[in-house]
A and B are shown apart, each in its own frame.
Chain A
Amino acid sequence: MTDTLLTYDDALAAYDPVLGLEVHVELNTASKMFCGCSTVFGAEPNTQVCPVCLGLPGAMPVVNGKGVESAIRIGLALNCQIAEWCRFARKNYFYPDMPKNFQTSQYDEPIAYDGWMDVEVDGETFRVEIERAHMEEDTGKSTHVGGATGRIHGADHSLVDYNRAGIPLIEIVTKPIRGAGARAPEVARAYVAQLRDLIVALGVSEARMDQGNLRADVNLSLSTKGSDVLGTRSETKNVNSFRSVERAVRFEVQRHAAILAGGGSIVQETRHWHEDTGITTSGREKSDAEDYRYFPEPDLVPVAPTRDWVEELRATLPENPTARRARLQQEWGFSDLEMRDTVGAGALGLVEETIAAGASPQAARKWWLSELSRRANDAGVDLVDLGVTPAQVAGVQALVDAGTVNDKLARQVFDGLLAGEGTPEEVVEKRGLAVVSDEGALSAAVDNAIAANPDVADKIRDGKVAAAGALIGAVMKEMRGQADAARVRELILEKLS
């Protein structure tokens, strides 16, 4: 069943979107949250498990101190209060990915609460209030067998790997975000992107959305314009790229608006996001299954971070994001517009790393915001997930600066990098992309072009230098692009003067 949608403009004319974002951050601790099992990604199934994370009877959990430390640092970076005393709680539910039949989480005593983060959208600052950040654990990974699509629907049975069960997660929940208006999708995207930057700067997670280190749930409701009354919300689960966050919000705004405008009411439910088609579909309605019967975890003693410890951790925080943006703009000499575009493209960290690897600020910006943004867009992925590293971009630019390749050939070097053909130098070598600096070959190609285009040659002899473009094109074609266009132009003008 396809949903009817109102156009985005019509939806915004009648309703105000109210957002809520829940982001799960998988920490990069060496061991799990409540047991010593390794967290290394990609191990053989069920090789990083023990009685605790398998939920075997009698097994006793012990809290990973580094997990608590990371939670506090995230809380502080989000300008939160840190609880003086808090407990873990059992969230009870039955699902094969959680063998204990409960998830160890926190309920009404989160470790961090009442914070905020300033998000920059199109050069304007938008404050997102943080409700809470709490500690919990990841679930195992199910593979559904027998169904056509790999989803549960139609599956005969499921296979479960518990290597991921018990890896520490921090869930960060915003307060309802109002007042974003038509920019709600961009605000949602910018929040998740800038939250990721913060997490990376803290060094507490790999923060790769494409690998599930960072997972976003997008809650959306609509209020009638001018009304304070919150509408019923939908929760779109596991939206796993920045651009998908933006698209999912936009889609839900249009879907909700069509239902409300038609006199219907929104069902409170979870929704599934479909990356390929850009739509959400109904998951399950909120029901008895949501009755988690939370109660304090009796096997873990309370966490009571001393104020001294909290202040020690506060001193380890990276520069706050607003100050960092201002400093980088100054250092790089970017205009406001250049800076805005860089932030908007989610390229701030990438550009910074590319410059650190040796490229000039303008060259770093140029590659990430033009060629690489275009490729990411074509591939439907975020820039950070494209598969090109800042070091590689700096390497390509170094080849351009050395005159080994021109900009056009550099684009082919990126083809090779994306195909996994090695370093920029190796790609140039394997693909034979270096600019030909053999003057003899170049000169012969220019002679051929002049001979093949006598009319054009005559024009240039008569002083119409602009006509040289046609000959340059012919030479570049013969040289298969591997020539320095400026040198070709010089040669043509020399020969025809």
Chain B
Amino acid sequence: MPDISRDDVAHLATLARIDLSDAELDHLAPQLAVILDSIASISEVAAEDVPPTSHALPLTNVFREDVATPGLTAEQALSGAPEVEEQRFSVPRILGEEQ
């Protein structure tokens, strides 16, 4: 049975850049444990001869020709950007690490 601790949830929240308060962690951690338990019930019905799968489609090798096709204009691409400078997306400075 999968087990998810309050610390696990805090860790995942950090990785996902979601700021959770102590109260929210207290609230969410047991809920996630219940959700995982529910999903784990699938393993009870999974037969030995059914391999784990990551894809719903029974397809392989779906390839595209290597041909360049027009995409968006810069105006379209940048239209949803909160800030634009020099035809580029402007983002807040990145903390904590150097490129």
Contact = CB atoms under 8 A, between A and B. Distances in A.
A194 B61 CA distance: 32
A30 B99 contact: no
- What class of interface size applies to chain A in its complex with B? 35 or more
Contacts of A127: none
A8 interface: no
Interface in A131-190: 142-146, 151-153, 155-162
B91 interface: yes
B61 A303 contact: yes
Interface residues of B, number: 38
A386 interface: no
Contacts of A35: 71
B60 A30 contact: no
Contact of B88 (A48, A62, A160, A301): A160
Contact of A66 (B14, B15, B66): B66
Given A48-B71, A284-B98, A36 B93 contact: no
B94 A152 contact: yes
A476 to B, nearest CB: 53
27 contacts: A30-B66, A31-B69, A36-B64, A36-B68, A44-B74, A54-B72, A62-B63, A63-B64, A65-B65, A65-B66, A92-B15, A96-B91, A142-B99, A153-B98, A156-B93, A158-B92, A158-B93, A159-B88, A160-B90, A161-B87, A288-B14, A288-B15, A291-B15, A293-B15, A298-B55, A301-B62, A305-B61
B54 interface: yes
SS of A interface (majority): loop
Interface of B: 11, 14-15, 17, 54-55, 57, 59-69, 71-74, 77-78, 85-94, 96-99
Contact of B97 (A50, A63, A283, A303): A283
Interface of A: 29-31, 35-40, 44-51, 53-54, 62-68, 85, 87, 92, 94-96, 142-146, 151-153, 155-162, 272, 283-284, 288-289, 291, 293, 295-296, 298, 300-305
Given A36-B69, A46-B89, A298-B54, 6 more contacts: A46-B88, A49-B71, A68-B63, A96-B94, A272-B98, A283-B98
A45 B60 contact: no
A94 B59 CA distance: 31
